[in-house]
Structure 1
Amino acid sequence: MDLRQIRYFIVVCEMRSLSRAGEVLGVSQPSLSRQIQLLEAELRHHLLVRTGRGVEPTEAGLRFLEHAKTLDAMAQHARQDMRAFRAAAQDKVRLGMPHRVARRMAPHIVQSFRRLHPDAALTLAEGLSSEMNEWLVKGRVDLALLYDPPSSSLLRFESIYREDLVLAYGKACRPVPPPRVRARDLGRYPLVLPSAPNTIRALVDRTCREVNVTLDVVAEVDVVHTILETMAKEGMFTIIPRSALSDMAGQDFLAFSSIVEPVIMNNLTLATPASGPLPALAEATAQIIRGLEMKQFFA
């Protein structure tokens, strides 16, 4: 066996899908399947079994998974140690952030970083939370800020800030919704929402399943500005973080109702690789983020 096969096997078990694991790893599904087959041939055990929803580890697969995680953690620790050794000479750290978070926080992070580490460089990468998650797994960034990431044994997550989602609409909308809308009543409103996979959409869908309500999604739009423009002009509604209303130029034409029973809260997290301590400069960047007063960025 080799370390690549072990890594592939762990990610397949995490994703419960060869196709999704292939997307995360940047490997074609036939190539991924071939590497798993080679691993099974060497171990003389079937490690995975196909189901109607994807794949699941067999009893032997679960037993080997514990060994695989230990070996992978050791390999990741060795890689991180060598990256830290290289970074000590290069003095560079890579931070991933969602677009909306970057617009609010990046100037403050860069300012603090330059003041505390004038001889080092900070590289900022922007993208969707799902992209940042994959970049961390692949080692393309050293740490990242993510919204509501799925649980993973490959990464550590630390909650940084939670914000409530609201039902937003144009002030010209009639009839005007009440100031507080129960989650089980959200099905009454024609909604413009992001398409899956999207962290806000996943959070809303999960909450609505819990209260047994079916949403009336009349359009799916993936850009916040376009969502707000579409729903305001067409007399529709959307569900977004409260602070996103201030992202819209001329937001005076927008209004919102709080969502209650339950309140829907997103979760901005600081994500880092789970194997071993962070390199010193990456840890220093994480400390800068932890020291920020988050409310000022999401008012």
Structure 2
Amino acid sequence: MDIRQLRYFLEIVEQGSLTAASRTLNVAQPALSLHLRNMEERLDTPLLVRKANGVEPTEAGEILRSRARSILNEMERTEDEIRNLDKSPGGAVRLGLSATISEILTLPLIDALMERYPRITLNIADAMSGFVTEWLEEGRVDLAVLYNTSAGGATNADVLVEEELVLIQPPDKPIAKDVSLRCLSEAPVILPSKGHGLRDLIESAARSRKIEVNVAMEIDSYRNTKHLVAKGFGNSVLPLHAVINEVSEGSLAYANFARSELRRGAILKRSGTPSRAQQAVEETIQEVVSDLVQSGNWAGATLSTSLT
């Protein structure tokens, strides 16, 4: 197999059909079919399953898709490194951000990078941490800043901050200054679906205290969660910085959990060997995060000892 075949195969899988891949690659469909057939003969296994509405990768095809993306990314990074040895870091860096982190980090990070490294193009995508983790594992992003809620989940990562989670409620309901985790069983709660880090963290903490969380709705969007809480559909749990503006405006209220019962770490995680541009982005992220916490703009967060 050569690099061209890997590019063709990856485009076919991502487009979901040879016809669509033929258009985006500007390569005749019979030529794509021939490349695919040659790859399958070389590997002695089918790579795609033909269906009425397109194609899907087989198990072998899934393996090749993952490896192909990594190989092509590494080739791109290598070429960029060699071309720019005598210049400041440059090129594209793809960054995945947890949605709540994105709102506070994106603007100051872009400002800092434009000033320090104008040759770097930063591509940012945000979602809940579970989705960002998948992007990193699939090679869709080079770096990610997301929440780490499992003891074994911080491989190839640096802890940036630890932040406190708070109970949020509609502003028209009385709320104590400090609450117990037991309040999560006493009133309806809006949480992400099972498998997302925030949900797992909350339910794990509740189980350890023999508390059953009264989950009223599962919403995989913290923006929609805030709207639903404000309208009185239930309470929720979010980091303080994600609701501080709404609290100031009077559309939400919050309470701390007694003894800071719910905390989680935000980590900077990387995929593979970083390029010079990725290293520059990593260093800038660490500096910007430190500034945000020390200035009080990342409410409820404390810096990791590695950044202090």
- How would you bin the TM-score normalised by the shorter chain? 0.5 to 0.7
**Matched residue type, 2:186:** R
**Matched residue type, 2:287:** G
Query: Which of 278, 281, 287 does residue 282 from structure 1 map onto?
Result: 278
Q: Secondary structure at the match of 2:231?
A: helix
Q: 2:229, 2:204 → 1: CA distance? A: 22
1:193 match: 191
For normalisation by structure 1, the TM-score amounts to: 0.66
1:298 match: 298
* 1:130 to 1:212, Cα distance in 2 relative to 1, 3 A: same
Q: 1:200, 1:153 → 2: CA distance? A: 14
Count of residue correspondences: 233
Deviation of residue 81 (structure 1)? 5.4
Q: 1:137, 1:244 → 2: CA distance? A: 26
Deviation of residue 247 (structure 1)? 4.9
| 2:97–2:129 Cα contact (<8 Å) kept | yes
**Matched residue type, 2:147:** Y
**Matched residue type, 2:59:** L
Deviation of residue 143 (structure 1)? 0.8
Deviation of residue 31 (structure 1)? 3.3
Deviation of residue 128 (structure 1)? 2.6
Root mean square deviation of aligned Cα: 3.4
Q: 1:153, 1:263 → 2: CA distance? A: 20
2:115 match: 115
| 1:129–1:149 Cα contact (<8 Å) kept | no
Deviation of residue 209 (structure 1)? 1.1
Query: Which of 48, 65, 86 does residue 79 from structure 2 map onto?
Result: 86
* 1:183 to 1:137, Cα distance in 2 relative to 1, 3 A: same
Deviation of residue 227 (structure 1)? 2.0
Q: 2:238, 2:58 → 1: CA distance? A: 40
1:138 partnered with 2:121? no
Alignment of 1:1-299 (within 5 A): 31-32=58-59, 82-88=75-81, 89=83, 91-148=91-148, 155-173=155-173, 176-234=174-232, 236-248=234-246, 251-261=249-259, 263-273=261-271, 275=272, 277-292=273-288, 293-295=291-293, 296-299=296-299
Deviation of residue 153 (structure 1)? 8.2
Q: 2:207, 2:168 → 1: CA distance? A: 21
1:10 match: none
Q: 2:154, 2:229 → 1: CA distance? A: 39
Which stretch of structure 1 is more off in the superposition, 157-166 or 254-263? Answer: 254-263
Q: 1:125, 1:235 → 2: CA distance? A: 29
Which stretch of structure 1 is more off in the superposition, 157-166 or 116-125? Answer: 116-125
| 2:191–2:237 Cα contact (<8 Å) kept | yes
For normalisation by structure 2, the TM-score amounts to: 0.64
Deviation of residue 149 (structure 1)? 5.8
Deviation of residue 225 (structure 1)? 3.0
Deviation of residue 177 (structure 1)? 3.6
| 1:80–1:279 Cα contact (<8 Å) kept | no
Identity of aligned residues (%): 22
Consecutive aligned runs of 4 or more in structure 1 exceeding 4 Å deviation = 26-30, 33-36, 78-81, 149-155
